[in-house]
Amino acid sequence: TVDMKVFFRQMRALVRLSFLELWRRNDVFGLLVLGLALMVPLSMASPFGAAGASRYLDEMALLFTVPGITTLAHLTYPIRYIRKCGKDLSLKPFYPKLRAILGEVVSRGMNLEVNTSGLRQGVGETMPGEEILSLYREAGGTKIAVGSDAHKAEHIGADVKEVTDRLRAAGFTVI
Protein backbone atom coordinates (compact mmCIF):
# COMPACT_ATOMS: atom_id res chain seq x y z
CA THR A 1 0.00 0.00 0.00
CA VAL A 2 1.24 3.49 -0.87
CA ASP A 3 1.35 6.22 1.76
CA MET A 4 -0.25 9.06 -0.21
CA LYS A 5 1.24 11.80 1.98
CA VAL A 6 4.73 10.48 1.31
CA PHE A 7 3.94 10.08 -2.38
CA PHE A 8 2.73 13.68 -2.73
CA ARG A 9 5.74 15.00 -0.78
CA GLN A 10 8.03 13.07 -3.14
CA MET A 11 6.23 14.40 -6.20
CA ARG A 12 6.35 17.96 -4.87
CA ALA A 13 10.10 17.65 -4.33
CA LEU A 14 10.64 16.35 -7.85
CA VAL A 15 8.43 19.06 -9.37
CA ARG A 16 10.30 21.81 -7.54
CA LEU A 17 13.63 20.41 -8.67
CA SER A 18 12.21 20.39 -12.21
CA PHE A 19 11.41 24.07 -11.81
CA LEU A 20 14.99 24.74 -10.78
CA GLU A 21 16.30 22.92 -13.85
CA LEU A 22 13.99 24.85 -16.17
CA TRP A 23 15.04 28.10 -14.52
CA ARG A 24 18.68 27.18 -14.98
CA ARG A 25 18.03 26.58 -18.67
CA ASN A 26 16.18 29.90 -18.89
CA ASP A 27 13.21 27.98 -20.34
CA VAL A 28 10.41 30.47 -19.66
CA PHE A 29 7.86 28.52 -21.71
CA GLY A 30 8.66 25.30 -19.84
CA LEU A 31 8.28 27.09 -16.51
CA LEU A 32 4.92 28.48 -17.56
CA VAL A 33 3.59 25.13 -18.77
CA LEU A 34 4.79 23.22 -15.71
CA GLY A 35 3.43 25.88 -13.36
CA LEU A 36 0.03 25.93 -15.01
CA ALA A 37 -0.18 22.16 -15.31
CA LEU A 38 0.79 21.39 -11.74
CA MET A 39 -0.36 24.57 -9.97
CA VAL A 40 2.95 24.92 -8.13
CA PRO A 41 3.33 28.27 -6.38
CA LEU A 42 5.10 30.82 -8.57
CA SER A 43 7.46 31.64 -5.71
CA MET A 44 9.33 28.42 -6.49
CA ALA A 45 10.22 29.73 -9.97
CA SER A 46 12.57 32.20 -8.29
CA PRO A 47 14.28 30.15 -5.58
CA PHE A 48 17.19 32.50 -4.87
CA GLY A 49 18.36 34.07 -1.64
CA ALA A 50 18.40 32.62 1.86
CA ALA A 51 14.70 31.67 1.90
CA GLY A 52 14.96 29.92 -1.46
CA ALA A 53 18.15 28.10 -0.47
CA SER A 54 16.47 26.95 2.74
CA ARG A 55 13.44 25.65 0.80
CA TYR A 56 15.78 23.93 -1.63
CA LEU A 57 17.54 22.06 1.19
CA ASP A 58 14.16 21.08 2.67
CA GLU A 59 13.21 19.60 -0.69
CA MET A 60 16.56 17.81 -0.93
CA ALA A 61 15.84 16.17 2.42
CA LEU A 62 12.52 14.89 1.05
CA LEU A 63 14.37 13.01 -1.68
CA PHE A 64 15.54 10.50 0.94
CA THR A 65 11.98 9.16 0.97
CA VAL A 66 12.36 8.12 -2.69
CA PRO A 67 13.62 4.53 -2.90
CA GLY A 68 16.59 3.60 -5.06
CA ILE A 69 18.56 6.85 -4.98
CA THR A 70 22.28 6.07 -4.82
CA THR A 71 23.80 9.51 -5.39
CA LEU A 72 22.82 12.91 -4.05
CA ALA A 73 23.56 15.49 -6.74
CA HIS A 74 23.31 19.27 -7.03
CA LEU A 75 23.40 19.88 -3.28
CA THR A 76 24.59 23.47 -3.73
CA TYR A 77 22.77 24.12 -7.00
CA PRO A 78 21.24 27.49 -5.97
CA ILE A 79 24.70 28.92 -5.19
CA ARG A 80 25.56 29.06 -8.90
CA TYR A 81 22.60 31.30 -9.65
CA ILE A 82 22.85 33.38 -6.52
CA ARG A 83 26.41 34.22 -7.56
CA LYS A 84 25.39 34.85 -11.18
CA CYS A 85 23.00 37.48 -9.80
CA GLY A 86 26.02 39.19 -8.24
CA LYS A 87 25.25 38.08 -4.70
CA ASP A 88 26.89 35.71 -2.28
CA LEU A 89 25.33 33.59 0.42
CA SER A 90 27.03 32.31 3.54
CA LEU A 91 26.37 28.62 4.03
CA LYS A 92 26.99 28.74 7.79
CA PRO A 93 23.32 29.39 8.68
CA PHE A 94 22.46 26.23 6.73
CA TYR A 95 24.99 23.97 8.48
CA PRO A 96 22.32 22.19 10.59
CA LYS A 97 20.31 21.28 7.47
CA LEU A 98 23.45 20.43 5.50
CA ARG A 99 24.78 18.22 8.31
CA ALA A 100 21.45 16.39 8.51
CA ILE A 101 21.40 15.82 4.74
CA LEU A 102 25.04 14.72 4.62
CA GLY A 103 24.47 12.43 7.60
CA GLU A 104 21.66 10.74 5.67
CA VAL A 105 23.94 10.35 2.64
CA VAL A 106 26.50 8.61 4.85
CA SER A 107 24.03 6.45 6.80
CA ARG A 108 22.44 5.23 3.56
CA GLY A 109 25.81 4.45 1.95
CA MET A 110 25.12 6.90 -0.86
CA ASN A 111 27.54 8.88 -3.00
CA LEU A 112 27.76 12.66 -2.91
CA GLU A 113 28.13 14.14 -6.37
CA VAL A 114 30.91 16.66 -6.88
CA ASN A 115 30.16 18.61 -10.02
CA THR A 116 33.03 20.23 -11.93
CA SER A 117 30.80 22.69 -13.81
CA GLY A 118 31.35 25.42 -11.22
CA LEU A 119 34.97 25.63 -12.33
CA ARG A 120 33.93 26.69 -15.83
CA GLN A 121 30.69 28.53 -15.09
CA GLY A 122 31.86 31.36 -12.88
CA VAL A 123 31.35 29.80 -9.45
CA GLY A 124 35.10 29.39 -8.99
CA GLU A 125 34.90 26.00 -7.29
CA THR A 126 33.35 22.59 -7.62
CA MET A 127 29.79 22.13 -6.49
CA PRO A 128 29.75 21.44 -3.66
CA GLY A 129 32.98 23.19 -2.77
CA GLU A 130 35.52 22.52 -0.05
CA GLU A 131 33.31 24.00 2.70
CA ILE A 132 30.58 21.39 2.19
CA LEU A 133 33.04 18.60 1.40
CA SER A 134 34.61 19.27 4.80
CA LEU A 135 31.20 18.83 6.46
CA TYR A 136 30.75 15.62 4.48
CA ARG A 137 34.09 14.28 5.72
CA GLU A 138 33.13 15.24 9.30
CA ALA A 139 29.95 13.17 8.86
CA GLY A 140 32.07 10.19 7.84
CA GLY A 141 31.52 10.58 4.12
CA THR A 142 33.98 8.86 1.79
CA LYS A 143 31.96 8.10 -1.35
CA ILE A 144 32.05 10.64 -4.17
CA ALA A 145 30.65 10.61 -7.70
CA VAL A 146 32.38 13.15 -9.93
CA GLY A 147 30.45 14.63 -12.83
CA SER A 148 31.05 17.39 -15.34
CA ASP A 149 27.38 18.31 -15.88
CA ALA A 150 28.08 18.47 -19.60
CA HIS A 151 25.38 20.08 -21.67
CA LYS A 152 27.78 20.41 -24.60
CA ALA A 153 30.00 17.70 -26.10
CA GLU A 154 33.18 19.69 -25.39
CA HIS A 155 32.37 19.72 -21.66
CA ILE A 156 32.14 15.94 -21.27
CA GLY A 157 34.66 14.97 -18.61
CA ALA A 158 35.86 18.56 -18.17
CA ASP A 159 38.13 18.90 -15.11
CA VAL A 160 37.19 15.41 -13.85
CA LYS A 161 40.77 14.11 -13.56
CA GLU A 162 42.01 17.23 -11.75
CA VAL A 163 39.08 17.19 -9.33
CA THR A 164 39.39 13.44 -8.74
CA ASP A 165 43.08 13.88 -7.88
CA ARG A 166 42.22 16.70 -5.45
CA LEU A 167 39.50 14.62 -3.81
CA ARG A 168 41.87 11.69 -3.32
CA ALA A 169 44.47 14.04 -1.83
CA ALA A 170 41.76 15.33 0.55
CA GLY A 171 41.16 11.78 1.82
CA PHE A 172 38.14 10.60 -0.13
CA THR A 173 38.63 6.93 -0.91
CA VAL A 174 35.69 5.87 -3.06
CA ILE A 175 35.48 7.97 -6.22
Provide the 3-class DSSP secondary structure of residue 6: helix
Provide the 3-class DSSP secondary structure of residue 3: coil
Compute the half-sphere exposure of residue 21: CA atoms within 13 Å on the CB side of its CA. Answer: 11
Q: Which of 69, 81, 76 is nearest to 111 (CA)?
A: 69
| pLDDT at residue number 136 | 97
Q: Is the pLDDT of residue 41 over 50?
A: no
Q: What is the pLDDT of residues 89-99, one digit of tens each?
A: 788 999 999 99
Q: Give the C-alpha separation, 171 to 169, whole Å.
A: 5
Record the pTM: 0.71
144: left (phi over 0), alpha (psi -120 to 50) or beta: beta
Q: Report DSSP state, residue 145.
A: E
| pLDDT at residue number 53 | 80
Provide the 3-class DSSP secondary structure of residue 174: strand
